[in-house]
Amino acid sequence: MTTVYFFLAVMFAHGNFADYRDGKELPVTSYKLKYNGEGYLFANPSICTKLLDEFADSASNFTKCSIKHARPIRLCEKCIDHYVKFRESYKNLLQTNLNGTSCETIFISHDRLEVVLNYHDNILAIWNKGNCNDCFNWTKDKPEISNKTYHFYQIFNETMQCIEENINPKENSTKVCENCMQSYIQLNNYYESLSFDRIGLDIICMDVIDSMNATRSIWSKSLNCCKLRKSPEIIFLCCSGIIACLPVLYYIMVKYCGPIKDLPNVLKQSRFKQRILRTVNGIN
């Protein structure tokens, strides 16, 4: 009987009662705590509709934000608030219960299109593919930019600022390379310390990966600064070469320079004589 009242209450609440008022038998027997044709025969519970609205807004806010920050990639950093809202609204949608019927059962798992579920999964997939969680410190109730991300961007800003100040399209880039070499090397080393592989694809958040990738590309391709680092290498290689040749030179000298050539024979002879002498003495 209570179910009938509940049913009637729902009908009144949504103004659908008029269609069924005149003597028609309500399909009460099939009315259990599950999907009941909401949206078709009856309106969706208003709470669920409201939650669905919120979810839709948060999903579109996040989508918009992530598209706007796709290049250069800043979507982790810029869209974190939208992401948190999005997760919350989805959780609310799943967990809100109306007398045993959750909003989840109304919007999810009824058709093969699965609009709600698919949008949710796609947004989550973008976020996870970018390792975005890694940019943040989640130990507090609200995620914050983690210290390592902050520190990376400090050095990154320094390097970029240095390049901007020193770059001069009319001259070659020797000056930029020399003046900014230190910041660049510091940035590169710090980046490499963040991950296990040198490219950083394993765990680092995509904002940071992309910033480093762009910096490396500017440094080596646009500015062509790597050629500066070659000169110490060339000196090193020449020195190594000379040192490697020394033993060969020594043997050549041993072979062709007279006095030294005789020396081994003298040594051999004297050692031979001594041995004979020793054996003779031993017999006596």
- Which residues contact ligand NAG (rule: CB under 6 A)? 2, 6, 9, 54, 57-58, 61, 85, 98-99, 137, 139, 146-147, 150, 153-154, 157, 171-172, 174, 201, 209-210, 213, 217
Query: Shortest distance, CB of residue 66 to ligand NAG, whole angstroms?
Result: 13
Query: Shortest distance, CB of residue 150 to ligand NAG, whole angstroms?
Result: 5
Query: Shortest distance, CB of residue 249 to ligand NAG, whole angstroms?
Result: 35
Which residue number, 64 or 275, has a Cβ lying nearer to ligand NAG?
64
Which residue number, 72 or 264, has a Cβ lying nearer to ligand NAG?
72
- Name the residue among 216, 222, 214 with its Cα closest to residue 172: 222
**Which helix (H) or strand (E) element contains residue 144?**
strand 144-145
Query: Shortest distance, CB of residue 225 to ligand NAG, whole angstroms?
Result: 11
CA dist., res. 73 & res. 135, Å (int): 13
Render the burial of 200-213: b for 16+ CB within 10 Å, e for the rest: beeebbbbbbbbbb
**Rg of the chain, C-alpha, whole Å:** 39
Which residue number, 9 or 67, has a Cβ lying nearer to ligand NAG?
9
Query: Shortest distance, CB of residue 180 to ligand NAG, whole angstroms?
Result: 16
Q: Is the dihedral of CA 248, 250, 253, 258 positive or negative?
A: negative
Which residue number, 29 or 284, has a Cβ lying nearer to ligand NAG?
29
Q: Is the Cβ–Cβ distance between 218 and 239 less than 8 Å?
A: no
Which residue number, 50 or 108, has a Cβ lying nearer to ligand NAG?
50
Which residue number, 147 or 281, has a Cβ lying nearer to ligand NAG?
147
CA dist., res. 26 & res. 9, Å (int): 13
Which residue number, 8 or 108, has a Cβ lying nearer to ligand NAG?
8
Query: Shortest distance, CB of residue 227 to ligand NAG, whole angstroms?
Result: 7
Query: Shortest distance, CB of residue 190 to ligand NAG, whole angstroms?
Result: 13
Q: 10 Å Cβ neighbour count for 191? A: 23
Q: DSSP letters of 61-122?
A: HHHHHHHHTTTTT-HHHHSHHHHHHHHHHHHHHHH-EETTEEHHHHHSSSSSS-HHHHHHHH
CA dist., res. 186 & res. 181, Å (int): 8
